[in-house]
Amino acid sequence: MIENSKRIVFKFGTNILRNEDGEISLSHLYSFIEDISRLYKQDKEILIVTSGAVGLGAKKLKIDTSTSTTLKQAAASVGQPLLMSIWQDGFEKYGITTAQILLTEEDFANRKKYLSLRLTLSKLLENKVIPIINQNDAVSPSELEHACFSDNDKLSSIVASKLDADLLVMVSDVDGLYDKNPKEHKDAKLIKQVEKVTSKIEALATGASSGGRGGMITKLTAAKVVSSSGLYAKIVNGKIPNIIKKVFDNEIGTTFLPSNNLSHKKRWIAYATNIMGSIKVNEGAKSAIKDNQKSLLSIGITDVQGKFKKGEIISILDENNKEFARGISSYNSDDIEKIKGHHSDKISEILGYKFDDDVVIKDNLVLI
């Protein structure tokens, strides 16, 4: 149930953190901080993804950043410490320590960086620190274009799904997802609950919001990533007073239900970014895995690609080279090359040892 969520990621968009004149909205921010502190004291683990660096920096420098990526980067470098100091001062008043983490998409794609980030974040949470996360806008031009984290909705969904959160709350300036565009249709109705982000649901989102880089489309994409990773997601309107206190209320905002219940381990396998190799299997093995939830046996393997060690994540491909599953290999690629096409009984004879009857055991397999 959503109220049992222990690890919660809150994402705050630029528009909800500033007033119409571009100044930071301290009243909003402090009310978020006060209500988050309350959750924190109920023993929840909180991570915050915050936008606003570019906007604050542009205001300070009195520049218009709309046409230049480099100016946006310069503005972000000026605005980020200002933004951070507001969060930090606010939480300090409640005796809560914060940490600043600036990320690029590469930090998740590179396994060493990702593991190190996971460890750092779990140490911070263990030490009761609230990590305050933003994109590292200054280091890469692509951060502000479309190649990497195009927006903080995407960043927050990756943070939530890769760092084993239970719930992502996107605090925006809209009430949630509507069945029609509410700006054009007076009778548009708020959708309170989404069981699965299907293409029909995706078609309901239109346009980007002004100010930040996201809009309903990026929020829905984020909700899709998060819910298909087995987490709850929620879009709420930060202009509703004390919205943070109401995040578990199903009548408020749009709640996206987890659309699968993969364990943390299976989630890690399914969303791995560092696949070391692949195994191709015949139709019989594919149907045993896909239709009958069986392990992968050596007999059904027809080819091995890439170099990988025992314990690494591999793709499992069908006869048309289409990936249909991922798993943790019980053997390295050289061993699999030797035992492919042979019955499990022959493994000891061929290799001189046997770790397992299965090349990928079913607990280490996830269908894609």
Rounded to an integer, what distance in angstroms lies between the CA atom of residue 86 and that of residue 329?
47
Instruction: Select 11 or 340, whichever has its Cβ closest to ligand GLU.
Output: 11
- Interface with ligand GLU includes 53 (CB under 6 A)? yes
Q: How many residues bind ligand GLU (CB under 6 A)?
A: 15
Question: DSSP of 55-97, one letter per residue?
Answer: HHHHHHHT---TT-HHHHHHHHHHHHHHHHHHHHHHHHTTT--
Instruction: Select 214 or 230, whichever has its Cβ closest to ligand GLU.
Output: 214
Other Cβ atoms closer than 10 A to 200: 8
- Name the minimum Å distance from CB 182 to ligand GLU: 21
- Interface with ligand GLU includes 15 (CB under 6 A)? no
CB 190 within 8 A of CB 174: no
**How many residues comprise the chain?**
368
For ligand GLU, which residue of 90, 131, 176, 212 counts as binding (CB under 6 A)? Answer: 212
Radius of gyration of the chain, Cα coordinates, nearest whole angstrom: 23
Instruction: Select 134 or 157, whichever has its Cβ closest to ligand GLU.
Output: 134
- Interface with ligand GLU includes 14 (CB under 6 A)? yes
Q: What's the distance, CA 344 to chain centroid?
A: 38
Region binding ligand GLU by CB under 6 A among candidate stretches 45-53, 93-101, 113-121, 182-190: 45-53
Instruction: Select 53 or 285, whichever has its Cβ closest to ligand GLU.
Output: 53
Site string for ligand GLU, 273-292 (x = CB under 6 A): --------------------
Report how far apart, in Å, the C-alpha atoms of 147 and of each of 5, 136, 236 are: 32, 14, 27
Beta strands in 77-217 (DSSP E): 98-103, 130-135, 167-172, 193-194
* Binding to ligand GLU in span 102-161, by CB under 6 A: 134-135, 137, 151-152
For ligand GLU, which residue of 214, 215, 253, 258 counts as binding (CB under 6 A)? Answer: 214
Region binding ligand GLU by CB under 6 A among candidate stretches 156-164, 188-196, 207-215, 332-340: 207-215
- Name the minimum Å distance from CB 8 to ligand GLU: 19
Rounded to an integer, what distance in angstroms lies between the CA atom of residue 362 and that of residue 293?
7
Return the HEC string of 20-58: CCCCECHHHHHHHHHHHHHHHHCCCEEEEEECCHHHHHH
- Name the minimum Å distance from CB 226 to ligand GLU: 16
- Name the minimum Å distance from CB 69 to ligand GLU: 12
Instruction: Select 17 or 272, whichever has its Cβ closest to ligand GLU.
Output: 17
- Name the minimum Å distance from CB 46 to ligand GLU: 19
Rounded to an integer, what distance in angstroms lies between the CA atom of residue 226 and that of residue 233?
6
Q: Which residues bind ligand GLU (CB under 6 A)?
A: 14, 51-55, 76, 134-135, 137, 151-152, 212-214
